[in-house]
């Protein structure tokens, strides 16, 4: 398959520990809509695009799936989350060090997120735009994750075959999107477990990982000689 040419990173729960802020915002949305958010419903929305999230919320609450009302709820959710983002975003373990190492090696990186551009830009105030040659947001593609569109678009903008890219993800939704696009996937679960897969290598966190590790993981996953996936010896 050839060597690794780029790393495509998810944002929420992968680079920054923002899922806890989304928890707060989702709780507030449910309160606004007259309900109580259950853990299993929150888990179903992790990593999802706005449209899918609103469908899940409105179905859970038994509300009429009126497109205008759902769009307004999504706008409110994003505005509230943006206020939380502005207070600063904590890094996930090892994420900043990994980005610094990849940047020093001049390996191209893309940020690939289901988060709308407006919110992603506010998050990038904390993360740093200089890391990424490309940023693809959920409101800039026809279909968000778990569809392959975001990762395919990122690879297209980098002028690369997705199969030459390693995606870094934390959720089942994101891993499915990257895999469907043809990427090998490094998974560091955050809020919820992520199923194993033939094109997925799972680690406990990004702490301690560097360029050489990513090359090794990519080579193992992309080689037809490797056969079945084997889990990493990580907690």
Q: Tell me: the pLDDT tens digits for 32-44? A: 999 999 999 998 9
Closest by Cα among 208, 188, 170 to 12: 170
Domain 18-87 has CATH 1.10.238: no
Closest by Cα among 37, 8, 25, 31 to 185: 8
Quote the CATH superfamily of domain 6-17+90-222: HAD superfamily/HAD-like (3.40.50.1000)
- The residue whose two tokens read 């899922």 is 19
Cβ atoms of residues 166 and 184 within 8 Å: yes
Is the pLDDT assigned to residue 8 strictly greater than 50? yes
Cβ atoms of residues 25 and 77 within 8 Å: yes
The separation between the first and the last C-alpha atoms of the chain, rounded to the nearest angstrom, is 29
Q: At 227, is the pLDDT very low, low, confident or very high (cuts 50, 70, 90)?
A: very low
Q: State the pTM of this model.
A: 0.82
Kindly report, residue by residue over 119-129, the tens digit of the pLDDT. 999 999 999 99
What span, in angstroms and rounded, lies between the C-alpha atoms of 4 and 160?
10
What is the number of other CB atoms lying within 10 angstroms of the CB of residue 26? 21
Q: List, in sequence order, every residue forming a beta bridge with 199; answer none if it has no partner.
A: none
Counted residue by residue, the chain has a size of: 235
Q: List, in sequence order, every residue forming a beta bridge with 12; answer none if it has no partner.
A: 16
Cβ atoms of residues 10 and 113 within 8 Å: yes
Task: List the chain domain ranges.
Answer: 6-17+90-222, 18-87
Q: Which active-site residues does the annotation give?
A: 10
């Amino acid at each position: 398959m050839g060597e690794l040419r780029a790393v495509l990173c998810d944002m929420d729960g992968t680079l920054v520990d923002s899922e806890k802020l989304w928890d707060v915002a989702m709780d507030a949305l449910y309160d606004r809509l007259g309900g109580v958010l259950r853990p299993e419903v929150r888990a179903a929305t992790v990593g999802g695009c706005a449209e899918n999230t609103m469908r899940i919320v409105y179905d859970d609450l038994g509300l009429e799936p009126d497109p205008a009302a759902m769009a307004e709820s999504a706008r409110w959710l994003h505005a509230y989350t943006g206020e939380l983002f502005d207070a600063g975003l904590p890094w996930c373990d090892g994420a900043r060090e990994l980005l610094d190492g990849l940047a020093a090696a001049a390996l191209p990186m893309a940020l690939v997120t289901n988060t709308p551009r407006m919110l992603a830009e506010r998050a990038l105030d904390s993360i740093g735009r200089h890391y990424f040659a490309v940023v693809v947001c959920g409101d800039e593609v026809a279909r968000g994750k778990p569809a392959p569109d975001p990762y395919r678009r990122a690879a297209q903008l980098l002028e690369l075959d997705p199969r030459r890219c390693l995606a870094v993800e934390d959720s089942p939704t994101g891993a499915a999107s990257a895999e469907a696009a043809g990427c090998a996937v490094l998974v560091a679960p955050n809020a919820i477990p992520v199923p194993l897969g033939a094109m997925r290598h799972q680690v406990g966190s990004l702490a301690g990982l560097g360029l050489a590790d990513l090359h090794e993981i990519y080579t193992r996953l992309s080689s037809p000689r490797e056969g079945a996936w084997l889990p990493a010896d990580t907690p």
